[in-house]
A = this chain, B = another copy of it.
Amino acid sequence: MSKSLPKRSEDYSLWYNELVKRAGLAENSPVRGCMVIKPYGYAIWEKMQRVLDDMFKRTGHTNAYFPLFIPKSFFSKEASHVEGFAKECAVITHYRLKNAEDGSGVVVDPDAKLEEELIVRPTSETVIWNTYKGWVQSYRDLPLLINQWANVVRWEMRTRLFLRTAEFLWQEGHTAHATAEEAIAETEQMLDVYADFAENFMAVPVVKGIKTPNERFAGALETYCIESLMQDGKALQTGTSHFLGQNFAKAFDVKFATKEGGLEYVWGTSWGVSTRLMGALIMAHSDDEGLVLPPKLAPIQVVIIPIFFNDAQLQQISEKAKQIKKALEAKGISVKFDDRDTQKPGWKFAEYELQGVPVRIAIGARDLENGTVEVARRDTKEKAAYPLENIENKVEELLEAIQTNIYQKAFKFREENTTKVDSYDEFKQVLDTKGGFVLAHWDGTSETEERIKEETKATIRCIALDTQPEEGTCMVTGKPSARRVYFARAY
């Protein structure tokens, strides 16, 4: 490891960017707005994918793959959808390059112009519903429960690694149902799957809620979301699940013969999470020394580092280290034994701290004599001597304790940074001092929502599903309000 990271308290944004790069997670590419996901970052994403994919399959979904390109005419078939995405899309107009006549390299061949332009998918509702038309005839074909793992492109002007990039990786579920009730149940089920994943794997507590009409997905009747809080007091939307009603079915003429012999439009949902989850994972837990990864998503859960001064010592220690590694791996724990002699132990300690490896085991000559090892946990930085006997059980318990502790710490942070306010002045003051979620009354109009956004940069993150009704008055207009909603400045 080279120099230390910038401190969160001094420059949170710089801390984040440097951490992402130095921990080997991702880097900017010279291709505008696109990132390179580096091997260590991709290994975390692969673990996320595996867990989510299993969850999707357990809830009855299968994977499929649909085209990267969307003809411009499809894109326009659902009016609010094209409105929402047309302003930021990559457009393919030609299909060939040719050598420049002046020998200066290659240029676009004007003779190879497409009759109809193609859009690189920013999301796949249109191309998928166009396909579903051929797949759905009768109620027997429903529900259609399909997911796709894919890359999508939205032409963002201001990008940040993982949080906002022109190209990103995601999964998008697209389902079709016979009734509105079933489609709403699916939308809610997938929101629960996302919340389960965020809380029990990422160790990131979430608020489940619905978006205001202003913040809805372009083409949805209702957008459900999970929102989480980062250490700088800003919110991050970590997943969305949309009830599409019959909008896309009507746009693409997807009807089915009902049991009773009628012909009706099907009801749709779509839901997605993306590599943005990586941003949430990094920002929710990490500290000034580097990443802090929840054990369930850490590519390396335990690193073993030998402390030695000569080859004979290394050999003795290696023997013991390999036994420990084997015993841990038999429990399904992923272990790295770093016996490189090109780097000193102190350098290695710092490197694995930077990478957020949950547990570090150090073994020196004296440990061998004592029959112990030094075990350090990344989250609290506590160290302790563990007897070698049954170490695999002890480490397994420790990993569980770390997973729980990381979640609880984030939960406590969110509780401490969720503030009820009753006046607009107080609202502004909380935003400018501590940030976090602010629970306030709002009159339910888009005008007030937009005014607040303009004046304070805070948006309504969601109307939480578990909010209790509470009579009150809008902090801005004084009009009546039936419940508080979650406000925050957000990524």
A residues neighboring B (CB under 8 Å): 27, 29-32, 34-39, 42-43, 45-46, 62-76, 82, 86-98, 105-106, 108, 117-120, 127, 130-131, 134, 140, 146, 150-151, 153, 155, 167, 169, 342
If the complex has contacts A34-B68, A71-B31, are A95 and B91 also in contact, measured as CB distance less than 8 A? yes
- A134 partner residues in chain B, CB cutoff 8 A: 27
If the complex has contacts A31-B127, A106-B72, A140-B342, are A169 and B65 also in contact, measured as CB distance less than 8 A? yes
When chains A and B are docked, how far (Å) is the Cα of A140 from the Cα of B342?
A: 10
Can you give 19 A-B contacts (C-beta < 8 A)? Answer: A29-B67, A31-B71, A34-B69, A36-B64, A36-B66, A36-B67, A36-B131, A37-B64, A42-B62, A43-B63, A46-B63, A67-B167, A76-B105, A86-B98, A88-B95, A89-B95, A90-B118, A93-B108, A151-B151
Nearest CB of chain B from residue A397's CB, rounded to whole Å: 28
- A95 partner residues in chain B, CB cutoff 8 A: 88-91, 155
- A45 partner residues in chain B, CB cutoff 8 A: 65
Pick the residue among B31, B64, B68, B94 that contacts A42 (CB under 8 A): B64
- A73 partner residues in chain B, CB cutoff 8 A: 105
- A94 partner residues in chain B, CB cutoff 8 A: 90-91, 93
When chains A and B are docked, how far (Å) is the Cα of A32 from the Cα of B317?
A: 61
Pair B106/A68 contact, Cβ less than 8 Å: no
When chains A and B are docked, how far (Å) is the Cα of A117 from the Cα of B108?
A: 8
- A106 partner residues in chain B, CB cutoff 8 A: 72, 75-76, 82, 86
Nearest CB of chain B from residue A219's CB, rounded to whole Å: 15
When chains A and B are docked, how far (Å) is the Cα of A30 from the Cα of B124?
A: 14
When chains A and B are docked, how far (Å) is the Cα of A34 from the Cα of B64?
A: 14
Pick the residue among B35, B66, B75 that contacts A29 (CB under 8 A): B66
When chains A and B are docked, how far (Å) is the Cα of A317 from the Cα of B477?
A: 68
Pair A93/B93 contact, Cβ less than 8 Å: yes
When chains A and B are docked, how far (Å) is the Cα of A114 from the Cα of B68?
A: 20
Nearest CB of chain B from residue A419's CB, rounded to whole Å: 39
- A32 partner residues in chain B, CB cutoff 8 A: 69, 118
- A150 partner residues in chain B, CB cutoff 8 A: 151
Pair B67/A39 contact, Cβ less than 8 Å: no
Nearest CB of chain B from residue A300's CB, rounded to whole Å: 12
Pair A64/B93 contact, Cβ less than 8 Å: no
Pick the residue among B38, B75, B92, B155 that contacts A96 (CB under 8 A): B155
Nearest CB of chain B from residue A46's CB, rounded to whole Å: 7
When chains A and B are docked, how far (Å) is the Cα of A95 from the Cα of B87?
A: 8
- A31 partner residues in chain B, CB cutoff 8 A: 67, 69-71, 118, 127
Of all A-B residue pairs in the complex, the 5 with the closest CB atoms, nearest first, are A34-B67, A86-B97, A37-B65, A39-B62, A91-B94
Q: Which residue of B lies closest to A155 (CB)?
A: B95
Question: Given A46-B63, A88-B95, A97-B119, 17 more contacts at CB 8 Å?
Answer: A29-B130, A29-B131, A30-B130, A36-B66, A67-B167, A68-B151, A73-B105, A82-B106, A87-B98, A89-B96, A89-B97, A90-B94, A90-B95, A93-B108, A95-B155, A96-B155, A150-B151
When chains A and B are docked, how far (Å) is the Cα of A96 from the Cα of B131?
A: 25
Interface centre among A89, A97, A105, A342 (most CB of B within 10 A): A97
Pair B68/A153 contact, Cβ less than 8 Å: yes
Nearest CB of chain B from residue A18's CB, rounded to whole Å: 15
